[in-house]
């Protein structure tokens, strides 16, 4: 999410300082009126979710979504997603687009991927994120989804930012023991919990060694507490070479 979010913020600031200041100002006022939407189910757009570019995103790795059992569209569900990975590419490709056929595999169900509230404070980017089905990960947001009559799937990357700091090829260290608040909310509304595992998610990037207790991990933990997001130091491949760069490795992701 990071680069598009920063770009949208820069464009908004430039618009405020340029000849488009009036439309930008009106948009800013509208943001105040619309500030609760990320906690109220978002604003998904079927057209955005079906953009052809997502098929190229899927095929780059490639990403596949595997259904083991059909689900009743008359109920709501909580999908507990592991592992988070560095950028949660599998979660985005499977649940924020139709590239892997979520609507075909689970007819009558609409996914909502919960993510950190800070991303919905970024102008322009927030609307693009909600169009794909992203909503805030606040407890009130999850309760709003589960209190509905049925047909919604709340997808939660349970390990969150701490799990992103553990993501590296060949490793599988999950964060779950202290992240069980979603279970209490699911019990409150009688919502089934569906385990979702994304094989290959941790194979996409190399991460600078940051074992627990190291100076780098302590710094990352402090920044996470201050900013609310994880800041893993990662690298993978480039555009025309495969030894170093910021593009993810082309490794298959099978989400079950």
pLDDT at 225: 84
pLDDT at 3: 65
Distance (Å, whole) CA 35 – CA 140:
14
For 136-181, the pLDDT digits (tens) are: 999 999 999 999 999 999 999 999 888 999 999 998 999 888 888 9
Q: Is the peptide bond before 83 cis (omega within 30 degrees of 0)?
A: yes
- Token couple for 97: 């687009």
**What domains are there in the chain, each with its CATH number?**
1-34 (no CATH), 38-255 (3.40.1130)
Task: Mark 34-67 as b/e (b = at least 16 C-beta within 10 Å).
Answer: beebbbebbbbeeebbebeebeebbeebbbbbee
- Extract the residue ranges of the chain whose pLDDT is less than 70: 1-3
pLDDT at 175: 87
Percent of the chain surpassing pLDDT 90: 81
| Nearest-5° Cα angle at 117, 114 to 123 | 115
pLDDT at 2: 56
């Amino acid at each position: 999410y990071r680069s598009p979010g920063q770009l949208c913020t820069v464009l908004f600031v430039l618009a405020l300082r340029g000849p488009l200041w009036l439309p930008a100002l009106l948009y800013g006022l509208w943001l105040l009126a619309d500030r609760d939407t990320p906690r109220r189910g978002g604003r998904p757009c079927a057209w955005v979710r079906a953009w052809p570019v997502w098929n190229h995103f899927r095929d780059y790795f490639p990403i596949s979504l595997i259904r083991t059992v059909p689900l009743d569209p008359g109920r709501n569900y909580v999908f507990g997603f592991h592992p988070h990975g560095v950028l949660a590419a599998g979660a985005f490709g499977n649940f924020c687009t139709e590239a892997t056929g979520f609507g075909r595999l689970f007819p009558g169900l609409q996914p909502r991927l919960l993510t950190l509230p800070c991303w919905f404070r970024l102008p322009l980017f927030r609307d693009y994120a909600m169009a794909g089905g992203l909503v805030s990960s606040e407890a009130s947001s999850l309760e709003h989804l589960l209190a509905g009559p049925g047909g919604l799937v709340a997808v939660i990357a349970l390990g969150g930012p701490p799990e992103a700091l553990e993501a590296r090829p060949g490793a599988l260290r999950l964060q779950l023991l202290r992240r069980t608040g979603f279970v209490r909310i699911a019990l409150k509304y009688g919502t089934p919990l569906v385990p979702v595992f994304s094989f290959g998610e941790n194979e996409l990037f190399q991460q600078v060694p940051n074992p627990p207790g190291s100076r780098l991990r302590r710094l990352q933990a402090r920044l996470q507490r201050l900013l609310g997001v994880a800041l893993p130091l990662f690298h993978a491949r480039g555009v025309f070479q495969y030894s170093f760069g910021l593009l993810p490795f082309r490794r298959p992701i099978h989400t079950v």
